[in-house]
Structure 1
Amino acid sequence: MRLTRRSQSMAWTRAGLSAKIQPDNMEIIYPNPLTGDILYIGKLPEGVTKVNVSIVTPDGQICRMESMTNYSSGPVTFHTGKLAPGMYWLRIAGKGGKLLKTYKFIKL
């Protein structure tokens, strides 16, 4: 996979597929499937000053949680730790635990 940053846009190429991601549509997580221990969140919700990001198993067990404040508007690095291979959800919650976004990803 190749990830390059050009001014305010990103180009993503994998297995012959490519997509140009503009800042306004970067609400994605990558790489997916995950092979290492770093997951990138394309964009966290705007207008929220603090979020809790967690990785959850299909049975609801929280594997990792991290609070983020004063994050940048660009991609955010999230260290997943040593996850076992399988399916997970990345959940982003705001004030009072209100769920803002949920993404499904696979760890190989």
Structure 2
Amino acid sequence: MYRLEELRSALEMFESTIIESHQVFFYMCFFVNNQFRILVDQAAVGSQDLESTFRYNLTRTGRVVAVLDTWNEPVYLTRIWTVFEQFAACTLQIPVTFVMPEACSSIDRNN
């Protein structure tokens, strides 16, 4: 549901927090696992093992970068899958970083 500009800006904000100079690769599960097709249509391989597949990939990547689109009612926190992502990361003790597009830093948080 994010606009490409929001995602780009949020990832640039994340990039500015990286202290060490090294390559960063992003694994975006929606490119790999279409949860709707797996769970509703049961059309994809791995639907019976989605949780263990996700946990394996999460452990393999070693870090979560969660993109929030706004301060107030971010879309990320309204989806059960992303809440599960946070639960899995916490359970597996995977570090999580929350990032937002630069425009969010100038928004009046009281409104």
Pair in the same fold by TM > 0.5:
no
Tell me which protein shows more helix as a share of its residues. 2
Higher RCO (CA 8 Å, separation ≥ 6 residues):
2
Q: TM-score, normalised by structure 2?
A: 0.24
Q: What is the TM-score normalised by the length of structure 1?
A: 0.24
- Radius of gyration: which is bigger? 2
